[in-house]
Amino acid sequence: MDRLIINGGKRLEGEIRIAGAKNSALPILAATLLTQETVQICNLPHLYDITTMLELLGCMGVQPIVDEKLNVEVNSSSIEHFSAPYELVKTMRASILVLGPLLTRYGKAEVALPGGCAIGSRPVNLHISALKAMGADIVVEDGYIKASVDGKLKGANVFMDLVTVTGTENVMMAATLADGRTVIENAAREPEVVDLADCLVKMGANIEGQGTDTIVINGVANLSGCSYSVMPDRIETGTYLIAAAATRGCIKVKDTRPDILESVLRKLEQAGAQIKVDKSSIELDMQGRRPKAVSLRTAPYPAFPTDMQAQFTALNSVAQGTGSITETVFENRFMHVHEMNRMGASIRVEGNTVIVNGVDSLKGAPVMATDLRASASLIIAGLVSANETSVDRIYHIDRGYECIEEKLQLLGARIRRVPS
């Protein structure tokens, strides 16, 4: 098991390219099950979770082909099995995304109940109740969701009790081949949901309203193949921008989309950053100044993303003043706080809020990553620490960040990966 060694105290400066969005790539890979034709997916990030999803397709009898440009071609006509085994699902909850496509195209699916997440309950009951409303027979037994349908799924009015990204995506994919019209109310509005919808439309689906809280899908007889490029990763973009702000640096991130990061960019400006944007790049310059503490509250898109709160906690820990961060999306998402306090931060947890009193600098220490975004925040804390920090359990970070130490090295960070 690898760990990262960081010698902090250096400003980040330079340019990097942003990878494709994991949370868009995973549902798009699942969507390849909806057609017999070949789907080519471009701009896939090179991440452990993507490899797991390709393995999942492989164990169903679908053999993805990777070309010389690292694009992936998937043709699901060779499918033999309709189940997602626990061995794969336990490491990545997004495996549940094959449930809708398998059920609507083949009339049957077995998916292990998900594991793979330490940040609180992410119930799958919303997926199940929505698919039942569309005519599916579903039982949960022996740790598996066992679903079948007699004939085709039927269009239905589906109201999501909670805003759920994967729930919205699963129902949207299932509805593309269902009989009739499906309306998803209280749908997730995240850009990754829109990206999946745009890919499905390119495959021949009839979808309207993506990006709003009401999505309307008129089922079609079949979908065709296409070539589609995955959108840039807004969370990776924000993470590097926050790291630069915390280290008082000046960076440019390329191949990204400022239009889907407005809430994060606003908070960075409040922290004292000067920001310039064009269509596909963002420049951040702290002009060598210490950041100012900011307060924020997470909520579903277009509000501030839960996947960025840990990184802002790290920035606030060395900022001027006091900031509060309230988490409304997931419980149990402050596990990074105890590790940061061991590095000399002054943070206290009050219910679903953390109060951060900025200190002049942190001190390096051995710390342990607990989930994907928490591990990114510990790396930021290491970058602003006075001496050496060791971050353990970094398999978490490899799930969501492509070559993080290499990109930080390009920006001047003293960081290296070593075997534990």
Phi/psi for 70 (5° steps) reads 65, 25
CA distance 190 to 202: 19
Which H/E stretch holds residue 75? strand 72-75
Q: Taking Cα atoms as reference points, which of 368, 342, 345 lies closest to residue 358? A: 345
Q: Specify whether the backbone of 215 is left (phi greater than 0), alpha (psi in -120 to 50) or beta.
A: beta
158 alpha carbon, distance to own chain's centre: 24
Burial (CB count within 10 angstroms: exposed 0-12, middle 13-18, buried 19+), residue 221: exposed
Strand 144-148 and strand 137-141: pairing? antiparallel
Q: Among the options 42, 59, 117, 403, which is catalytic? A: 117
Global confidence as pTM: 0.95
| 117 has catalytic annotation | yes
pLDDT per residue of the chain (420 residues) written in tens, 0 to 9: 899 999 999 999 999 999 999 999 999 999 999 999 999 999 999 999 999 999 999 999 999 998 877 799 999 999 999 999 998 888 888 899 999 999 999 999 999 987 544 444 556 889 999 999 999 999 988 889 999 999 999 999 999 999 999 999 999 999 999 999 999 999 999 999 999 999 999 999 999 999 999 999 999 999 999 999 999 999 999 999 999 999 999 999 999 999 999 999 999 999 999 999 999 999 999 999 999 999 999 999 999 999 999 999 999 999 999 999 999 988 778 889 999 999 999 999 999 999 999 999 999 999 999 888 889 999 999 999 999 999 999 988 988 899 999 999 999 999 999 998
Strands 388-392 and 366-368: parallel
DSSP 8-state assignment for residue 277 = E
Report d(CA 61, CA 78) in Å as an integer.
Answer: 6
Bridge partner list, 146:
110, 139
